[in-house]
Amino acid sequence: MSRQQTVRLARRLALVALVVVALAAPLSLRAFWLQSGLFAMAAIISAIGLTLLVGRSGQLSLGHAFFVAIGAYGYSYLAGDPGSPLASGLGWPPVLALLGAVLAAALAGALFSPISGRLRGIYLGLASLGLVFLGQHILFNATPVTGGYNGRNAEPFRIFGFTFGDSNPADLVVLGVRYGELERLWYLGLLFVAVAWWCAHNLVRSRPGRALATIRDSEVAAGVMGVNVARFKAAAFIVSSMYAALGGVLMALVFGRIVPESFGLLMSVEFLVMIVIGGIGSVGGAVAGAVFVTLLPLVLNRYSDLLPLLAQPGTSGISAADLSRIIYGLAIILILLFAHDGLAGLARRLRTSRRGADGPTDPDHPMSEPSTTKELAR
């Protein structure tokens, strides 16, 4: 067996082991880790959509939280109880509500795409920022739909009579472990992440993916090569919006209740932090960045009593959230200075150094296509 075949076999075995561990996780993980993992899954899906938009098509967006909110509130409204006195719904089956929320986000992305086609760089980012302010105004004031300041509940997801909640069936036991809402949602989240990753992984390797990369590097050159620049940029915005909405749906299911404050500017900034730390343009990097940014404050908060620098809840000083933001800031500065391609690029260089020779160019790794990161750094 050649060295290349050995490496390929090792990767497949590692992937199989990862899948087995992920499937068996609810059997041993506590509720905190299951819930944190589900938050990370929701962030992964939305971050993949943003890295396709920013890293692949070169369109800077600060309005990602707006499309996440459309997914979360769209699902909650479409699947909500029509007779609810505070925030009514349409009573759609959850599967149709999920599809409706994702399509609503796609429509919103399509409506914004003419603007994204006319603006570039920081001007497009500022224009997309207006979506966040618009979304916040709607979420706070469209009380019959959004619940206003108090937010609204998200109906549990159901399919074929099986509920991803604590009922239907009420006492589901697997290998001696009772499977409640978090355990059931864990598998739904894994399914969403797998579908999102597979679609993005194939998109960046397809002709449309290469066309988007060409547009990112030079719209003029792409037009000369016969690429319809306006149509591809609009398609990238629509696809990114759909990813954000799917992540929003999962977020609503995990939270159980959503409020407008969760979908502000800070969320959009955090998504940008995820893809910069992971490596702009890399699907795997978006996954790593989303896990890092999502889990860091949760873990710091849980173990704050063990860290002397952190203030306890209700006291003055540096909180876990403050420390996590400081770490984000330092990580971004270090990455922009020393590793434009983020964690994905570092992993690629590590593999290359272990092989002792340069590997083939992989379209999932942005190292060979660093222009977008450099443009953002400037």
Separation of alpha carbons 270 and 61, rounded Å:
12
CA distance 187 to 165: 12
Q: Cα(74)–Cα(70) distance, rounded to whole angstroms? A: 5
SS3 (DSSP) at 234: helix
Sign of the CA dihedral running 123, 342, 10, 27: negative
Q: How far apart are CA 301 and CA 319, in angstroms?
A: 8
The burial class, CB within 10 Å (0-12 / 13-18 / 19+), for 243 is: buried
Domain, as residue range, for 209: 26-263
- Distance, in Å, from the CA atom of 273 to the CA atom of 324, rounded to the nearest integer, reads 12
Residue 13 resides in a domain? no
> How many C-beta atoms surround the C-beta of residue 175 within 10 A?
8
Antiparallel, parallel or unpaired: β 173-174 and 177-178: antiparallel
Q: Is the dihedral of CA 118, 120, 124, 126 positive or negative?
A: negative
DSSP string, 50-101: HHIIIIIH----S-HHHHHHHHHHHHHHHSS-TT-SSS------HHHHHHHH
Instruction: Look at residue 240 and tell me if it is in a domain.
Output: yes
Quick one: pLDDT at residue 258?
92
Burial of residue 315, with CB atoms counted within 10 A of its CB: 0-12 exposed, 13-18 middle, 19 or more buried = exposed
Predicted local confidence at residue 370, as pLDDT = 46
- The DSSP H or E segment spanning 263 is none
C-alpha closest to that of 124 among 112, 135, 133: 112
| Residue 357 located in a structural domain | no
Surface-to-core class of residue 265, CB atoms within 10 Å of its CB (0-12 exposed, 13-18 middle, 19+ buried): middle
CA distances from 241 to 61, 136, 139, 141, 360 (A): 11, 17, 18, 23, 32
Angle between helices 64-78 and 94-118 (to 10 degrees): 150
| Residue 39, CB-side half-sphere exposure with 13 Å CA sphere | 20
For residue 284, tell me if it sits in a domain: no
Say what the pLDDT of residue 21 is. Answer: 92
Give the chain's end-to-end CA distance (angstroms, integer).
47
Rounded to the nearest angstrom, the gap between the alpha carbon of residue 177 and the centroid of all alpha carbons in its chain is: 30
Find out whether 263 and 63 touch, Cβ atoms under 8 Å: no
| 199 belongs to a structural domain | yes
Question: Exposed, middle or buried: residue 299 (CB in 10 Å: 0-12, 13-18, 19+)?
Answer: middle
In a domain, 4, yes or no: no
For position 373, what pLDDT does the model report?
45
Q: Is residue 168 part of a domain?
A: yes
Please give the model's pTM, rounded to 2 decimal places. 0.87
Sign of CA dihedral 225, 51, 136, 121: negative
In a domain, residue 358? The reply is no
Reference 375, options 88, 103, 120; nearest CA is 120
**Whole-number pLDDT of residue 61:** 87
Q: How many domains does the chain have?
A: 1
Question: Which residues does the chain have with pLDDT short of 70?
Answer: 1, 312-314, 355-378
Q: How many CB atoms lie within 10 A of CB 95?
A: 13
Instruction: Please tell me the distance from the alpha carbon of residue 114 to that of residue 127, in angstroms, as a whole number.
Output: 12
